[in-house]
Chain A
Amino acid sequence: DTVMTQSPLSLTVTPGEPASISCRSSQSLLHSNGYNYLGWYLQKPGQSPQVLIYLSSTRASGVPDRFSGSGSGTDFTLKISRVEAEDVGVYYCMQTLHTPLTFGGGTKVEIK
């Protein structure tokens, strides 16, 4: 299986400050078609996950532009330029290239 390793496990951020989450995969997520099959999701407390970023760097519809994704191959990063109170929850990366599709263990983001 493709193991997805996220860091840090948790993050406490002051509103208005930036935040960054790393995700590493045990296999390359770059397909020969040029796409990296890596997505980022936020699961707010008591809610279902919502996609933020897909194909490594494409922001999903309706997602604020303070969220950005980057990376290729096996190393990926989600950045929040200025954290807001509504950004609390658990962030997951997920690879969709290799079967089984797998998620990272999650990064819990709290507001200071």
Chain B
Amino acid sequence: QVQLQESGPGLVKPSETLSLTCTVSGGSMNNYYWGWIRQPPGKGLEWIGYIYSTGHTNYNPSLRSRVTISLDTSKNQFSLKLSSVTAADTAVYFCARAPSTAVAIAVDAFDIWDLGTMVAVS
């Protein structure tokens, strides 16, 4: 049974870089998309971006200039870096897996999520 677990600091200073890593256990990273989604306190969900197991990435244009998602399949991990953070980046950050019936067209859905990590910018 595939499980995801995040690691990273819960507090980041303004203008610095937020870094989170998601470790995948119980399965392979191959042939899946791996994504990041965030949720500001009391608000809805915002997609940040995803990476395919080959390394292809797709980012939210509103964050593209500040976001990098990478993966290390040898460690079964993928990571998020968000630079120049402000208070508006304060949120619960989720990592999630997304299968695709038609790879390179779209992901089907995010079917496995981690518990989420609260990151405050202050």
Interface positions of A (Cβ within 8 A of B): 31, 33, 35, 37, 39, 41, 47-51, 54-55, 60-61, 92, 94, 96-97, 99-106
Contact = CB atoms under 8 A, between A and B. Distances in A.
29 contacts: A31-B105, A31-B106, A33-B105, A35-B101, A35-B102, A35-B106, A37-B107, A39-B108, A39-B109, A48-B94, A48-B113, A48-B114, A48-B115, A49-B37, A50-B113, A60-B109, A60-B111, A61-B111, A92-B44, A96-B108, A99-B58, A99-B60, A100-B62, A101-B60, A101-B107, A103-B46, A103-B47, A105-B44, A106-B44
Nearest to B98: A96
Central interface residue in B58, B102, B107, B109, by most chain A CB within 10 Å: B109
Given A94-B109, A101-B47, 7 more contacts: A35-B106, A60-B111, A92-B45, A100-B60, A100-B62, A102-B47, A103-B45
B116 interface: yes
Contacts, number: 69
Interface of B: 37, 44-47, 58, 60-62, 94, 98, 101-102, 105-111, 113-116
Central interface residue in A33, A47, A99, by most chain B CB within 10 Å: A99
Contact of B106 (A92, A96, A100): A96
A96 B109 contact: yes
Given A31-B102, A96-B107, A101-B47, A48 B116 contact: yes
A99 B110 CA distance: 15
